[in-house]
């Protein structure tokens, strides 16, 4: 093992878990590996073939990713090839079944369409493992579900006795379970590394008017590109991508663009000029994704709330791969919530719709949070992480906290009295004493709390409402672009104990 690590890869020590996983695979054990991006998962399936002189088959979702890996392995003297679904030339697969290659990559489509003869020949030649990379694609609860991945279990019967290794950088408990069930893993050796990327600073910038968002963005980006540092900006739509790109170019910043509607030549060109530092800023949709192995990206900005924390973690994780301090900003506005419908439109059934909605709501909460963002992220991924990190905007903000129990009480009781049939705006208007028609018609002007919240602006109340959603005092749901806010059980408990919850006053920091 050590000899292969040194001889082919030039490293003298294994990173955490690598040796343990390789040993289990050599013992013939199935493995489920959940480790952060950049932690060195690939070596776990690349070393066994070098030790056993048998082929490792790796199922991977993206052609470009496989091409990169194959090229880099060949340079190291590892015999490697890939089989894509569109390949008509059968010479690679003919060679492959003779056991010619150390590492053989293939797309899931290819893997499930190869004839069983291929597998029996390969097994006769020698196969040491079947790795399923990006294994979260198996689960409808993951953020990147792919139908073909679900069919991979059929390989199980064709490859009796061959250890399966499922690998992913993001998996909640539920997704982990799905992977294990779907691939019929047999009492797998499970490794879950920490998700913490200690060198990344996490922060959210909130804004209401899109134009000032742009000027903030220009400020952020130019600060970095002036000193030669790279930034990736992720937008949720192609339209945003083009707008942000134009704004940056107009302010004199050399900026690349990348999205799915560009031709493949233009995309490659754009990708390349970013990798080579010819442009320091890349504005892109999430089509600019897996396979970007640029170690020194210093900042990832999300322009708009991403569809889930899984994808946020993965996309923001593309900065600071070299371990140096880097920054993840998320630019958020309340109206981002209307994107829920856009994301849900991908759903094929009610289960998927609910899964997408839940994931999106968790991302919303992340944006609205007043406490440590890293703690929230890591707990979301099931880690026991109970300390504040000191390296996120909420941890480093100048503390300006005070007890807002009274205001919280007012807002919650007003929302409750309005019956949970509205968004945040109407109850806030009631608090601020509005006599708009909708309010009078519903007799909300007769409520006890009508006009009791005049001392604060409506934006201040909205910010408080956001915090209460993030901290589960309020529950927000979305239907057909309408959002509804109601008091959650935790909020009800708060109301019934007057001004205390769990015996403590409700202390928040609000700067809006
Ligand atoms: P992942 O697939 O988990 O995102 P990779 O397998 O691409 O991570 O590895 C990330 C980087 O770490 C690569 O550049 C790889 O060569 C390097 N690496 C992996 N294992 C080791 C090791 N034992 N010592 C030093 N560097 C390593
Ligand atoms: Zn923190």
| pLDDT single digits (tens) 2-17 | 999 999 999 999 988 9
Q: What is the DSSP string of 433-485?
A: T---HHHHHTTGGGSTTTTTTTTS-HHHHHHHHHHHHHTTSEEEEEETTEEEE
Residue 414: closest CA among 361, 334, 485: 485
- Kindly give, in sequence order, each residue whose CB lies less than 8 Å from that of residue 433, ignoring residues fewer than 6 positions away: 450, 451, 453, 454
Looking at ligand 1, which residue's alpha carbon is closest to its atom 9? Answer: 40
Which whole number is the average pLDDT over 352-365? Answer: 89
Residue 193 Cβ contacting ligand 1 at under 6 Å: no
Looking at ligand 1, which residue's alpha carbon is closest to its atom 25? Answer: 11
| pLDDT single digits (tens) 252-306 | 999 999 999 999 899 989 998 998 899 999 999 988 876 677 889 999 999 999 9
What are the distances in angstroms from CA 323 to CA 39, 232, 326? Answer: 11, 17, 8
Least confident span in 132-136, 337-341, 472-476: 337-341
Residue 322 Cβ contacting ligand 1 at under 6 Å: no
The whole-number pLDDT of residue 502 equals 43
Residue 373 Cβ contacting ligand 1 at under 6 Å: no
Residue 65 Cβ contacting ligand 1 at under 6 Å: no
| pLDDT single digits (tens) 144-165 | 778 889 899 999 999 999 999 9
| pLDDT single digits (tens) 401-446 | 677 888 898 999 999 999 888 999 999 999 999 999 999 999 999 9
Residue 142 pLDDT > 80, yes or no? no
- Kindly give, in sequence order, each residue whose CB lies less than 8 Å from that of residue 119, ignoring residues fewer than 6 positions away: 155, 158, 159
Looking at ligand 1, which residue's alpha carbon is closest to its atom 12? Answer: 40
- Kindly give, in sequence order, each residue whose CB lies less than 8 Å from that of residue 126, ignoring residues fewer than 6 positions away: 52, 53, 54, 55, 99
Structure confidence at residue 349 as a pLDDT band (50, 70, 90): confident
Closest atom of ligand 1 relative to the 14 alpha carbon: 23
**Neighbouring C-alpha atoms within 13 Å toward the C-beta of 140:** 13
The whole-number pLDDT of residue 356 equals 87
The whole-number pLDDT of residue 501 equals 43
Residue 89 pLDDT > 70, yes or no? no
Mutate to test the pocket of ligand 1, among 40, 72, 136 (most ligand atoms within 8 A of CB): 40
Q: 34, 174 in Cβ contact below 8 A?
A: no
């Amino acid at each position: 093992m050590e000899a292969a690590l040194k001889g082919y890869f030039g490293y003298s020590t294994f990173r955490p878990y690598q040796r343990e996983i390789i040993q289990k695979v050599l013992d013939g054990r199935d493995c489920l590996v959940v480790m952060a991006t950049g932690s060195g998962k690939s070596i776990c399936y690349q070393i066994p073939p070098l030790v056993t002189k048998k082929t490792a088959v790796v199922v991977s979702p993206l052609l470009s990713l496989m091409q990169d890996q194959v090229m880099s392995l060949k340079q190291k003297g590892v015999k490697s090839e890939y089989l894509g679904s569109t390949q008509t030339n059968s010479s690679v697969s003919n060679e492959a079944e003779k056991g010619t290659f150390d590492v053989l990559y293939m797309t899931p489509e290819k893997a499930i369409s190869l004839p069983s003869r291929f597998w029996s020949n390969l097994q006769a030649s020698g196969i040491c493992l079947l790795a399923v990379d990006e294994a979260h694609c198996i689960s409808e609860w993951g953020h990147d579900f792919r139908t073909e991945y679900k069919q991979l279990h059929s390989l199980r019967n064709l490859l009796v006795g061959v250890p399966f290794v499922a690998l992913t950088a993001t998996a909640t408990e539920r997704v982990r379970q799905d992977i294990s069930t779907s691939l019929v893993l047999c009492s797998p050796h499970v490794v879950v590394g920490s998700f913490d990327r200690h060198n990344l600073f996490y922060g959210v910038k909130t804004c209401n008017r899109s134009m000032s968002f742009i000027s903030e963005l220009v400020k952020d980006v130019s600060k970095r590109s002036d000193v030669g540092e790279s930034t990736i900006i992720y937008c949720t739509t192609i339209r945003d991508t083009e707008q942000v790109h134009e704004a940056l170019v107009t302010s004199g910043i050399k900026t690349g663009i990348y999205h799915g509607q560009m031709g493949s030549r233009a995309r490659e060109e754009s990708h390349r000029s970013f990798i080579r530092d010819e442009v320091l800023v890349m504005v892109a949709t999430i089509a600019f994704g897996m396979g970007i192995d640029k170690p020194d990206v210093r900042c990832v900005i999300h322009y708009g709330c991403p569809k889930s924390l899984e994808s946020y973690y993965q996309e923001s994780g593309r900065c600071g791969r070299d371990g140096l301090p880097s920054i993840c900003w998320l630019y958020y506005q309340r109206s981002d919530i209307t994107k829920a419908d856009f994301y849900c439109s991908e759903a094929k059934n009610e289960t998927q719709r609910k899964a997408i909605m839940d994931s999106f709501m968790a991302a919303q909460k992340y944006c609205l949070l007043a406490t440590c963002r890293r703690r929230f992220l890591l707990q979301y991924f099931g880690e026991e992480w109970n300390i504040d990190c000191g390296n996120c905007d909420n941890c480093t903000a100048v503390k300006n906290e005070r007890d807002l129990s009274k205001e919280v009480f007012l807002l919650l009781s007003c929302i409750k009295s309005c019956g949970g049939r509205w968004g945040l705006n109407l109850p806030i208007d009631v608090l601020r004493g509005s006599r708009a028609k909708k309010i009078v018609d519903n007799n909300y002007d007769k409520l006890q709390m009508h006009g009791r919240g005049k001392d604060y602006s409506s934006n201040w109340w909205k910010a408080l409402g956001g915090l209460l959603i993030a901290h589960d005092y309020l529950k927000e749901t979305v239907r057909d672009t309408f959002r509804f806010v109601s008091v959650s059980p935790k909020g009800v408990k708060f109301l019934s104990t007057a001004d205390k919850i769990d015996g403590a006053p409700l202390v928040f920091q609000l700067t809006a």
